[in-house]
Structure formats: C-alpha cells, structure tokens
Amino acid sequence: MTQSPPRALRLLTGLASWLLTVAITLVGLAAVTFFIGRILPIDPVLSIVGEKATPEVYQRVYVELGLDQPLWKQFIDYLGNILRGDFGTSFSTSRPVLTDLLAFFPATLELATIGLVIGMVLGIPMGVASAYWHEKWPDHLFRIIGLIGYSVPIFWLGLVGLFVFYYKLGWVAGPGQVDVFYTGIVDRITGSMLIDSALQGEWDVFFNAISHMILPALLLGYYSLAYISRMTRSVMLDQLSREYVLTARLKGASELTVVVRHALGNAAIPLITVIALSYGGLLEGSVLVETIFSWPGIGNYIYSSLFAADMNAVLGGTLLVGIVFVFLNMLSDVLYTTLDPRARGAGA
C-alpha cells in the first residue's frame, strides 16, 4: 500500500514526459515545414493573383495573407490556426486544406497498408532465412534482393514496371485508381476504394481497383521488404547467438521450434519498431510512386500543389505525413514498453 503513490506518481510523470515530448516534436515539425515553405523560391501571392496583376492588387493580397508580418508572428499565427484545425485554403482546389487532406489521405493509407503487408509477409521470412543460413547461398540471394530494393531508385522501377507489365504485357491496369468508366460509381464512405466498393457490392469496381493497385502496391511492398528483411536478419542473428538458443538445442528441441518459437518470438518485440518505421516510411515516401501511377493520394496532392505554388496545401500535406510518422514512432515505443517485461521493469 505504501508503494502505490510513488508508482502512480511515476506513471503520471512518465505520461507527462511523453506528452511533452510529443508536443515539442510536433511544434518542431511545424516549425521546420513552415520555415522551409517560407525560404522556397515560390511566391504564393503570384499563384493567387497571377503574373499580370497590378502592384496594388499584389500588395493587398500580400497583406491579407499576413506576409507583411515578421516571421515569428507568422509562425505563431500558423500554430494557432493548426490547433484550431485550420490549415488554410488551397489555391488549387479552392477548398480548405484539411478537407483535401481528409479526401486524399485514405488512398495513400490504403496503398501503404497493402505495401506494408507485402513487405511483412515476404520480408520477415527472408530475414529469418538469411540469419539461419548465415553466409550461405540463401543469405547471399536474399541480401542481393534487398540491396536492389535499397539501391535502385523507386521511380525508375515504377516506370519500368509500367512499361513492361502494363504497356507490353498488359497484365495489370495502368495509372489511376480505377478506369475512367468506373469513376463516380462508388460513393465515398471510408475513402478506400476497395472497402467502399466491397461494402456497396460493386464487384466490377472492386476487381478493377485491385488491378490498378497491384503494381504500385508491389513496388511499395518491395521497398518495405528490403528494409524489413535486412532488420529482421540483424535481429535474428543476435537472437540465434544467445545462450537460450543453445540450451533449447541441447534439450532436443527441433530447429523449427528453436528458430520460430524461441528466436523469432524474442525478435518479434524489436521488430515492432522496425515495422512501424517502415509503415511511416511508406506513407512518407509515397510521393514518387503516387506521381508515377497518378494515384489520388496525399503524395500526388503534395506534388501537384508544389508545382502550382500552393504552399498551404504543401505545408498541410507535409505536416500531416510528419504527424502520422511521429505517432507511429511513439506507438511503437508504447507497444515495445508494454510487451517487453524488461522495459516495464526498467520503467517501474
């Protein structure tokens, strides 16, 4: 009974420290995106008024946007607007940026999630096999496959994939989320074309969407596979060298039990962080893939907005991806602490 208050106090202190860390990280992220947006050689006023506007019109819009204020005041106002959920208005779509983000982000989430599943399903077994057959031909083969995923630019792989599998062989559908014929048939419920078309029983749209998704999802999955397999191999090599593995073998446990139940079971906890970071990387790195495949996601939205000098949309999209990445990282830390008894013991 006498230990309860100190324990409760430690829990509250830990929670407060975590919230403070999140707040500082998000403010820092907002600062980076804001000031980078201000130093880019892009004039947001010209994107609104056009190059033929008179100096009087230019100056009036310049003042209305608050660009005549000191940078520190502009940043404070920017933070205040974000806290109210106001990311500004997109000059390209004439809609609130938050509305655009909520409309485009589900498509990115859908694509990145499928890519992550592909990366996990293939990358983890590859990493385990590489560690088990260390410095043998399976290890060398899987390391080469991962190295290609790391080394070859993802936009080049996307262009080659489109040329070979869409243009030459016709095995998959081309750019876009669905064919033009199926556009507008499915009502938006969740924002995911696969889920919405399945919920509404539009199976033609569903299978057409899968055909469009195969190539970009495999591309992101390959990118994720390269990272996950490499990190799984590293973690498994460490686990397979531990004394408990030798003890299990001496007790007569089968190799499958030793590798899967014991080594992989203990490696699963640090792999949570690896998977979370890979997921954040897919969400963050989807700009090139979505641009190549004309995928209506947040990456393509940021790309189009940047070329249209629509800085409100660029900053809003960048900040959203950064926020998701931060919270995925924080979530992995929470899960790691919750699932690992040693981490719980250290924090107690």
Q: What is the tens place of the pLDDT at every residue in 308-338?
A: 777 788 888 888 888 888 788 777 777 777 7
With beta carbons less than 8 A apart as the criterion, state whether 75 and 34 touch.
yes
Instruction: Check pLDDT > 60 for residue 48.
Output: yes
258 touches 196 (CB < 8 A): no
Average the pLDDT over 14-26 and give the result. Answer: 77
The percentage of residues in the chain with a pLDDT greater than 90, rounded to a whole number, is 11
- Residue with the two structure tokens 């608050």: 66
* Token pair listed for 26: 């998000």
| Residues 279, 273: Cα–Cα separation, whole Å | 10
pLDDT digits over 136-159, tens only? 898 899 999 988 887 888 888 888
pLDDT of residue 341: 57
**CB-side exposure of 6: number of CA atoms within 13 Å?**
5
User: What integer is the mean pLDDT of 279-304?
Assistant: 83
Average pLDDT on 52-69 reads 79
Q: How much is the pLDDT for 347?
A: 47
Return the residue matching tokens 């982000």.
105
Instruction: Tell me the residue type at 179.
Output: D
Q: How many CB atoms lie within 10 A of CB 85?
A: 8
Count CB atoms within 10 A of the CB of residue 329: 15
The pLDDT > 70 percentage for the chain reads 92
At residue 7 the predicted structure's pLDDT band, cuts being 50, 70 and 90, is low
In the predicted model, what is the mean pLDDT of residues 25-36? 81
323 contacts 26 by C-beta, under 8 angstroms? yes
Tell which wins on pLDDT, 147 or 48.
Answer: 147
State residue 123's pLDDT score. 92
What number is the average pLDDT over the span 266-287?
82
Whether the predicted pLDDT of 2 surpasses 50: no
Q: How far apart are CA 144 and CA 228, in angstroms?
A: 14
pLDDT (tens digit per residue) in 155-174: 888 888 888 988 888 888 88
Q: Which residue has the higher pLDDT, 124 or 92?
A: 124
Tell me, what's the pLDDT at 126?
93
Amino acid identity for residue 256 in this structure: L
| pLDDT grade for 81, boundaries at 50, 70 and 90 | confident
What's the chain's average pLDDT?
A: 82
Contact indicator for 155, 292 with CB cutoff of 8 Å = yes
* Cβ count near 67 (within 10 Å): 14
Q: Could you tell me the end-to-end alpha-carbon distance of the chain, in angstroms, rounded to an integer?
A: 16
Residues 107-119: tens digit of each pLDDT: 888 899 999 999 9
Helix count and strand count (H, E) for the chain: 16, 0
Could you report the per-residue pLDDT of 217-275, keeping only the tens digit for each? 999 999 899 989 999 999 999 888 888 888 888 888 788 888 888 888 888 888 888 88
Write down the pLDDT at residue 313.
86
Note the pLDDT of residue 24: 84
65 sits in which H/E element? none
Q: Which of the pair, 5 or 62, is modelled with greater confidence?
A: 62
Question: Does residue 29 carry a pLDDT above 90?
Answer: no
Map out the domains of the chain with their CATH numbers: 4-83 (no CATH), 97-347 (1.10.3720.10)
At residue 302, the 3 state secondary structure works out as helix
- CA 261 from centroid of its chain's CA atoms: 30
Q: How far is CA 250 from the centre of its chain?
A: 43
Mean of pLDDT values over 279-285: 79
The Cα–Cα gap between 199 and 180 comes to 21
